[in-house]
A and B are shown apart, each in its own frame.
Chain A
Amino acid sequence: MKKIIFQQRKKLAVVASALVAVFMLTACGVDSKQSAPGKNTDSSPQAAANYPAKGIEYVVPYAAGGGVDLVARAVADAVGKKWGQPISVVNRTGGGGAVGAQYALAQPADGYTVLANVVSNTSMMAASYKNPAIKLEDQQLVARIVKDAPAFTVKSDAQWNDFNSFSEWVKQNPEKLSWTTSGVAGYSTYVAAEWLHQLGVDVGKTRMIVTNGTADSLPLIAGGNALLAVHPVSEVATMVNSGHLKILAVSSTDRSPFFPNVPTTAEQGFKDLSAFWWTGLSMPKGTPEAIVKKWSDTLAELAQDPEFQAKLKTMKMEPSYLNTADFNQFVTQEAAYYGNLATQLGIVK
């Protein structure tokens, strides 16, 4: 009996010590990362000149396969080869992009953790919430990399063939318009709201259907469960080419090179629609200037690189580089514009 109890205790001890050991291991892992700034954050010019001396973590706060992820992977691949250091894309999903962004911006400001940003978790987030989960002030915006125009997309056998007659119909029947978006403060919401606002239609009268994103939203349109989807051209291209959907208008100043036959919104009389999708790069606040510049310059070279351009082309995207100064100014203006729109529409939370 005594022996059994002893054995049992021994087992317990083994299990407990294993648990403790594992916890210590993981804790150390976390610690060594967080204690790094104390030892390593060296903002001296040498540190920047030697940068990167090790691999870089490129945080994508969204699931693999989306637009932000694809661009990040193309950039990580090209820049990694150029600098001779591995750049690993890490998808930290959840909270509509907040979880990954909060993590990345809390890392040491040494350039070894960078964050993929996108219009919806910067300008639009700042505009939509009184207390946004990620604040613009908390990050060092580095550069814009790619932009993509929104496409007003309906089912291929829908009754409208041009944007004007569709807009006219919506004006007459606002309560019949059902449209999809990836969140109340999502990208599609701003594009659609901007258009409805200009038409003089009350957004609250229309039927907004919140989805998980493009993979969830496009089948709703193709299956006749909703009328309109507003997504970047790159995300609707597949199902438009397959004959399931058609684009009534692309919202930009120039026609999309991928759909040269589709007129722009401006051509159809909507001069002031300006919302579009873009993605770029951020870093934790306080990253040495030389490192920010190195990234920004490299991304500028990349935008001119034929191989990179070809890769974007297969994704139906185009480079649209802005350097650090221009990018900051652009985001500030954009956030103010969306903030104004959000207040007028009453969607600020």
Chain B
Amino acid sequence: MIESIISLGQGFLTAVTPINLLMAVLGAFIGTFVGVLPGLGPTSAIAMLLPVTSVLEPSQAIIMLAGIYYGSMYGGSTTAILLNIPGEASSVPTCLDGYQLARQGRGGPALGIAAIGSFIAGMVGLVGLVFFAPFLAEQAIKFGPPERFAVMVLALTVTSGLSGGSLVKAAIMGLFGFMLSLAGLGTFSGLFRFQFGIDALSGGFEMVSIVIGLFAITEVLKNIGERQTAISPDQIGNVYPSRSDLKQSAGAIAAGSVIGFVMGLLPGCSAAVTSFLSYDIVKKFSKRRSLFGKGAIEGVAAPEAANNATSSAGFIPLLSLGIPASPPLAVLLAGLMIYGVQPGPLLFSQQGGFVWTVIASMIIGNVALLLLNLPLIGLWARLTRVPFGVMGPVILMLSVIGAYSVRNSLFDVLVAVLFGFVGYFLYKFNWPVMPLILCFILGPMLEQSFIQSMSMSAGSFGIFFTRPLALAFLVVAALMIVISGLLVRRTKQRLQQEGSGQISPLS
């Protein structure tokens, strides 16, 4: 461990050369800028800028790419909070309270908490990377398909609380989301299914276009339909989070960091999964539960911390085993390979100098991100003064560009527009959209880990009950269902006692 600290110190010495510092800051800035554009997340940001960085030295290029990765993860939260456009699935939970806060004129503090939460979580992740990388990577490998399946089931039950109102409605929306995820190439059969003769559907529905439709476009329609003033122009309020905001968020940031980091080590657990999970866990244990969805600052802190912790944790299997846990890391892996860097356990012993320089630069990049973004919050928050007549078309335009740019496909734009209308009607008739998104994200992973488990056991369900870890997750999941069932009933009774017989749906 002391060895790690010494190596890290040497890494810092290399990282603080002016050119390397410049690359870290530049990467963080470009990343934030691209991340602010909806639809353009870390994956497309890195893929787009990979050729540009090829003029640099390997370590400079990787430093810059890591900066872009962090920056774009952070940038996504800006549009989620101010415009209700989640740039990617992992910012969806951020919208829930962030946008409400912005409408109450507290967009500044929400952005500030997002920046601070991301920074702390990013640092927690990096500390984990420095000290535990080889050990943790070994543990994650033992996690097989049955365990992954059990974790997905747990995630679904925990987050079913997000539906707020009727469990039946939530289940129906969840099934709808799952069915949407089935379109495209069958995981096991290798045959196309639910394609309906549309070529563009052979790749399935693109998550980003559905998310953009359900959130951004639906939001514009709501505004037209109800003439809500997007955000009251006179009140931006304080730009920085107050002391009480920080106090309220501290626990959520800690929880988000830990959940995001631990879950992020598991292959297949994307930032979207961890940010949903931490939002819901923080909500479940909060004393101000009723405020969630109406502008609770912890509701911004938890998912933002979680998705940054997950992105940092992803570097552990990437650098020490060469296994990318998420699409943006796969692109980053391509970057490493192009520069002749072969990730794996040997990376630390063979190219230690390089690795430690990169890790040191990531720490610098995180600091740069915070210093860069706190002063800019005022500027971002001022965006909310723009009247809807101008903002609406801009949101629509950005949405169309975002939906198009992921796969360069016009079909995805049509899907986004369609889901904009679907989202509007769901909203009008009080159907929750969260279970839909969640099942759409988890569906393919759930299906694949289930089929893989069944292939392993030659068709016996026993595999889920004979492996201790898988069984433990399933037992916890069952407990969650019972407990949340009881809680819902109790809440209903209490609400009736207090004279308002309705539970308002969250979304």
Contact = CB atoms under 8 A, between A and B. Distances in A.
B191 A63 contact: no
A77 interface: yes
B65 to A, nearest CB: 12
A243 interface: yes
Interface in A66-120: 69-70, 73-74, 77, 88-96, 98-99, 102
B224 A12 contact: yes
Contact of A93 (B200, B203, B324): B203
Contacts of B141: 219, 222-223, 244
Contacts of B334: 64-65, 69-70, 73
A341 interface: no
Nearest to B329: A65
**Interface size classification for chain B:** 35 or more
A99 B400 contact: no
A23 B411 CA distance: 12
B396 A96 contact: no
Interface stretch (B24-32, B109-117, B149-157, B338-346): B338-346
B188 interface: yes
B80 interface: no
A90 B44 CA distance: 11
Interface string B381-403: 00000001100111011001100
Given A65-B324, A73-B338, A225 B396 contact: no
B191 A224 contact: no
B190 interface: yes
Contacts of B455: 178, 207-210
A218 B323 CA distance: 9
A175 B458 contact: yes
B316 to A, nearest CB: 13
Interface in B350-390: 388-389
Contact of A225 (B185, B204, B410, B456): B456
A241 B190 contact: no
A215 B324 contact: yes
Contacts of A244: 141, 321, 345
A183 B451 CA distance: 13
A300 interface: no
B344 A241 contact: yes
Interface stretch (A14-22, A158-166, A268-276): A14-22
Residues of A contacting B: mostly: helix
Contact of A22 (B185, B330, B397, B456): B397
A74 B345 CA distance: 25
Nearest to B393: A18
Contacts of A94: 184-185, 202-204, 407
Contact of B190 (A11, A96, A211, A222): A96
B207 to A, nearest CB: 12
A14 B184 contact: no
A133 interface: yes
A10 B389 contact: yes
B410 A26 contact: yes
A229 interface: no
Given A63-B330, A215-B330, A219-B141, A70 B344 contact: no
Nearest to A226: B456
B337 interface: yes
Interface in A294-332: 311, 314-315
A65 B404 contact: no
A26 B330 contact: no
Nearest to A12: B224
A343 interface: no
A73 B334 CA distance: 9
Interface in A193-227: 207-212, 215-216, 218-220, 222-226
A54 interface: no
A207 B188 contact: no
Contact of B192 (A22, A88, A90, A133): A133
A26 to B, nearest CB: 6
B251 interface: no
Contacts of A266: none
A135 interface: no
A211 B346 contact: no
Contacts of B140: 219
Contacts of A17: 393
Interface string B181-219: 000110111111000000110111000000000000000
A64 B190 contact: no
Interface string A155-187: 000000000000000000001001000011110
Contacts of A237: 342
Given A65-B330, A65-B334, A210-B455, A216 B267 contact: yes
Contacts of A136: none
Contact of B322 (A90, A220, A239): A239
B142 interface: yes
Nearest to B44: A91
B337 A70 contact: yes
A26 B190 contact: no
A245 to B, nearest CB: 11
A15 B344 contact: no
Nearest to B317: A219
B237 interface: no
A216 B449 CA distance: 11
A339 B20 CA distance: 54
A34 to B, nearest CB: 12
Nearest to B340: A314
A230 to B, nearest CB: 16
Given A210-B187, A210-B455, A238-B322, A95 B202 contact: yes
Given A11-B392, A26-B413, A208-B455, 12 more contacts: A19-B396, A22-B400, A23-B400, A70-B337, A93-B203, A95-B185, A133-B202, A209-B455, A215-B330, A219-B321, A225-B144, A314-B337
Interface of A: 4, 8, 10-12, 14-15, 17-19, 22-23, 26-27, 30, 63-65, 69-70, 73-74, 77, 88-96, 98-99, 102, 128, 133, 175, 178, 183-186, 207-212, 215-216, 218-220, 222-226, 237-239, 241-244, 311, 314-315, 349
Closest 5 CB pairs of A and B: A94-B203, A18-B393, A225-B144, A65-B334, A238-B344
